Amino acid sequence: MLRPIVLYPDSRLKMKSKSVTEFGPELKELAADMTETMRNANGVGLAAIQIGEPIRMMVMDEHYDQEDRGESQVLFNPEILEEEGSETTEEGCLSIPDVREEVERSFKIKVRYQNLEGKEQVSEYAGLLARCVLHEIDHMNGQLFIQKVPAVKRLFLKKQLDQLKKNFKEAVPL
């Protein structure tokens, strides 16, 4: 089922998400909803808080470049064990439509997480997928990628964000 994406500047995007401790069947349904919502919006990753669920959970398409993307990856309570290198490239967020900015992130990461069965796993990711995991962990901590944009680039960004704030106010009756 498609779920509405929480849009900037909704205050829920500032929430710190809670760890997942119970791995019941409802999480499979939530993972399916998140995957459908992410793919429908042409995203590579999505954190649960972006559909209003404040839990440490994310989905990600490892095969984002293939026509048949197969199953999405579902990560619970992800924790970075190791980071290596750095890369600065454009990044976007489904909660902040049409805003893209260059952000510096680690190029390679090793991450520990739990899968849909609650089983602990360790995976390594590089490039876009590493960037995606780091971006979604930021969401779980109430952080957005626009906070990582260097000060010199903030003026243009501010205009775009002000427009999003204006649209948000007009769309949500007070």
Q: What is the identity of the amino acid at 132?
A: C
Q: Cβ of residue 25: shortest distance to Co ion, in angstroms? A: 27
Binding-site size, Co ion (CB under 5 A): 1
- Please identify, using beta-carbon distances, which residue of 31 and 133 lies nearer to Co ion: 133
- Decide: is 34 part of the binding site for Co ion (CB under 5 A): no
Minimum distance between the CB of residue 150 and Co ion, rounded to whole angstroms?
Answer: 19
Q: Does 103 bind Co ion (CB under 5 A)?
A: no
**In the complex, minimum distance from the CB of residue 94 to Co ion, in angstroms, rounded to a whole number:** 6
71, 90, 73, 48: which is closest to 124 by C-alpha?
73
Residue nearest to Co ion (CB): 93
Between 31 and 58, CB nearer to Co ion? 58
- Find the shortest distance in angstroms from Cβ 157 to Co ion: 15
136 is catalytic: yes
**Considering 29, 101, 136, 170, which one is annotated as catalytic?**
136
Footprint (CB under 5 A) of Co ion, residues 57-96: 93
Q: Choose among 44, 9, 5, 3: nearest CA to 144.
A: 9
Question: Mind telling me the catalytic residues?
Answer: 136
Binding site for Co ion (CB under 5 A): 93
